[in-house]
Amino acid sequence: MYDPVTLDQLRAFVTVVEEGSFSAAARKLRRVQSAISTSMANLEAQLGVPLWDRSTKVATLTEQGQAVLASTRRVLTEVDGLRRLTTGMTLGLEASVSLCLDAFFPVKALVDLCATFIREFPAVDLRIDTQLMSAVSARVLEGTATLGVVSPAGLARGLEAQALAPIRVLPVVSPRHPLAAIQGRIATRHFVEAIQVVLSDCDDDGVADQVGLSPRTWRVGDLYTKHEMLRAGLGWGNLPEHLVRDDLRSGALVPIRPMAWGDHENALNLLAVYRSDTVFGPAHHWLLEQLTQLCEREARRQK
């Protein structure tokens, strides 16, 4: 059945409310007042409820009109979103973007990325997934994610890769841990009895565990668990500098210097990855550029 209610009527209805009167709405819409009055009368007849109380000099909304107003605004918002979406499509803009990030990617940078994305591409859906090591590459290869950020150890064959700025990684312990009491470089013998907490790839076919100095290791599947274990003094391990920055300032964690690692800084060189057959539109190109800039910004903060 044909719906006689038109978008023009709904927009006129909202305009009358916002401008305060039929005559003001007519001026705003550059129409004669009688056209607005007729449009509102027809809308009431078509909806079957009284929208306006005309018992006063200036018509006001009825209770039914208040409810219809809220629904009308939602409808017009959806219609405007549909028009932005289809306009973007004609210009090559993607309907959605899916991004899978390694857990080592700075959360603050991710939040800034999402906030800016909303402003730049309000009609494009953004899906964010956080995984570890090989799981990122797996998401991109299977098409669940169109763009990924992965550590070199998790890079899979068949993916295009673009280097991002390195993320500094620090060996840290709780100040209550025995290793924290050792000044300067720590000889390897001191790590024999110390538990090292390491990240472990959940995929059986994924990246092998990155075992370091300690023969005793506890394996965890996410960065949050590792962080909390180290804060609790249960072991030592590497964490990204951006994650422990506040802990280092407050003294909740302290850095240590394994002698076997020398003076060189431990850095994780993240990579942006995507399938070679992926066709990037404006939103994907923008995301790739922003990922590079955000990692560079984080690298500058570490100096």
Q: pLDDT for 203-228, tens place per residue?
A: 555 444 555 677 888 988 888 999 99
Q: How much is the pLDDT for 193?
A: 87
**pLDDT over threshold 80, residue 109:** yes
Answer yes or no: is pLDDT of 233 > 80: yes
Does residue 43 carry a pLDDT above 60? Answer: yes
Element (H, E) at 60: strand 60-61
> Domains (ranges, CATH) in the chain?
7-90 (1.10.10.10), 96-165+269-301 (3.40.190.10), 166-267 (3.40.190.290)
Among 242, 227, 223, 249, which residue's Cα sits nearest to residue 302?
A: 242
- Longest CA span, the chain: 92
How much is the pLDDT for 86?
61
Do 103 and 200 meet the contact criterion of CB atoms below 8 Å apart? no
C-alpha to C-alpha distance for 215 and 155, rounded to whole angstroms: 26
pLDDT at residue 1, as a whole number? 41
Q: For all residues of the chain together, what is the average pLDDT?
A: 83
CA distances from 88 to 43, 251, 289 (A): 32, 50, 20
Asked if residue 136 lies in contact with residue 203, where contact means CB atoms within 8 angstroms, the answer is no
Kindly state the average pLDDT of the residues 196-201. Answer: 84
Residues 57 and 47: beta-carbon distance below 8 Å: no
Work out the average pLDDT over 37-50: 87
The pLDDT score that the predictor gives to residue 31 is: 86
Query: Which tokens go with 104?
Result: 């080592």
d(CA 173, CA 261): 16
Phi/psi at 112 (nearest 5 deg)?
-60, -40
Mean pLDDT of 32-52: 87
Number of residues written out for the chain: 303
* Per-residue pLDDT tens over the stretch 8-21: 888 888 888 888 88
Phi-psi region of 184 (alpha: psi -120 to 50; beta: other; left: phi over 0): left
Helices (H), 179-240: 223-231
CA dihedral 142, 93, 285, 112 (to 10 degrees): -90
Which pair of structure tokens corresponds to residue 254?
Answer: 């302290």
Residue 254 has pLDDT above 60, yes or no: yes
pLDDT tens digits along 270-303: 889 988 777 778 888 888 888 888 877 776 766 5
The reported pLDDT for the residue numbered 104 is 86
DSSP string, 252-296: SSEE-EEGGGTTSPEEEEEEEEEETT----HHHHHHHHHHHHHHH
pLDDT of residue 206: 47
pLDDT surpassing 80 at residue 161: yes
Other C-beta atoms within 10 Å of 64: how many? 15
Residue 103: its pLDDT value, please? Answer: 85
Minimum mean pLDDT range among 195-204, 237-246, 276-285: 195-204
pLDDT for the residue 229: 95
pLDDT number for residue 92: 60
Q: Which are the contacts of 180, defined by CB distance < 8 A and separation ≥ 6?
A: 173, 174, 254, 256
Asked whether 179 and 256 are in contact (CB, 8 A), the reply is yes
pLDDT (0 to 100) of residue 210: 55
What's the pLDDT band for 85 if we cut at 50, 70, 90?
low
Cβ burial, residue 166 (10 Å; 0-12/13-18/19+): middle
Which residues are CB-contacts of 153 (< 8 A; sequence separation ≥ 6)? Answer: 133, 207, 210
Using the predicted structure, report yes or no on whether residue 56 has a pLDDT greater than 90: no
